[in-house]
Amino acid sequence: MDIITIKGLEIFAYHGVNLEEKRDGQPFLLDLSLYADLRKARQSDALEDTINYAAVRKVVQQAFTAEKYDLIERAAEVACQAVLAGFPQVEKARLRLKKPKAPMNAKFDYVAVEVEAAREPQGKPVQREAITTQRLVLRPFTPGDGPGLYAYLAAPETVGFAPYDPFTPEQAEGEASRRACDPAFWAVCDRAGCLLGNLYFAPGEFDTWELGYVFGRGHWGQGFATEAARALLGQGFSQLGVRRVTACCNPENERSWRLLERLGLRREGHLRKNISFFRDGQGQPLWQDTYEYGILKEEWEEKP
């Protein structure tokens, strides 16, 4: 197994138990080792055959600064898992996270934690019947859906309200493999097999399921999301024992909440500045509002 090392990466973040640590922030130093099979890159001398460490730095920094954690153990774990999710070639990530300005009344170089995260053995692909509508086929994802995912998740306008940045080709490949084993995700294709977008439909407490959706910019305004979501909700209420379905969206995302209302969901709440996915240049959270929607089985069945 080959190793790529990034040593002494400095990232300013707001982790720590003390209030002033979360308020003022401090620099952290990261020593990251990535374990992967690089034989192909050693022969080809091609960037696409290795792990782009500049892209790794971006993914690590985004994951490391997205939230404020009490423990550096948790911050290190989040960073390692982000690397595994974003770079399919990486089999194992090891991170030594140093905190030079830990609040201790003593002279010291730093305190540190070293964590290791390895890729889980590939789970079994999801096996289930596809759902067919007049124009669409809803099916499980496959590991080969990476290029199709990249085609729409790489577009900034598509992920403008999502909790992640546009995908790289490597991230899309890894995400396709992950979704192939995750029953919550449905690939939405046209009858020719072109991947248009995806639905997310996952169970929670009290027979309540959560609905989510992302469709490529080139397929907006044609009713595909409505057609696909209506078919999936119908199956959920009639075959899966779903009692209630909920969904959330940013109030500024008018296309999203209008879709939910076309499906018959009721706006149940408007949460003010309740969530943050990103931070500004000073490391402060960029808060946003949330619309909450829901519908009961009996309400769905009463729809014309």
pLDDT at 123 over 90: no
Q: How confident is the model at residue 163 (pLDDT cuts 50, 70, 90)?
A: confident
Query: Would residue 99 show up in a list of annotated catalytic residues for this protein?
Result: yes
Which residues 6+ apart lie within 8 Å of 276 measured at CB?
285, 286, 287, 288
- The structure tokens listed for 248 are 């959330």
Mean pLDDT of 112-128: 82
pLDDT of 49: 86
pLDDT at 240 over 80: yes
Q: DSSP labels for 55-106?
A: HHHHHHHHHHHSS--S-HHHHHHHHHHHHHHH-TTEEEEEEEEEETT-S-SS
Domain 2-118 - what CATH class?
Answer: alpha beta
pLDDT of 99: 97
| Residue 135 identity | R
pLDDT of 281: 83
Residue for token digits 């990535």? 34
pLDDT tens for residues 48-95?
A: 889 999 999 999 999 999 999 999 999 999 999 999 888 888 989 999
Considering the chain, tell me which residue range(s) the CATH 3.30.1130.10 domain(s) occupy.
2-118
pLDDT of 279: 85
Mean pLDDT of 216-243: 96
pLDDT of 178: 87
pLDDT of 280: 85
pLDDT at 265 over 90: yes
Mean pLDDT of 147-168: 93
Residue for token digits 């009490």? 70
Q: How confident is the model at residue 174 (pLDDT cuts 50, 70, 90)?
A: confident
- The structure tokens listed for 196 are 């248009």
Considering the chain, tell me which residue range(s) the CATH 3.40.630.30 domain(s) occupy.
131-302
8 Å CB contact between 138 and 199: yes
Q: Which residues pair with 136 in a beta bridge?
A: 190
pLDDT tens for residues 34-54?
A: 999 898 888 889 888 899 999
Q: DSSP labels for 131-156?
A: EE-SSEEEE---GGGHHHHHHHHT-T
pLDDT of 122: 60
CATH topology of domain 131-302: Aminopeptidase (3.40.630)
pLDDT tens for residues 271-280?
A: 999 998 888 8
pLDDT at 121 over 70: no
pLDDT of 58: 93
pLDDT of 119: 78
Q: Which of 7, 40, 98, 99 is catalytic?
A: 99
Q: In what order do the strands lie in the sheet with 90-99?
A: 2-13, 26-36, 90-99, 111-118
pLDDT of 289: 96
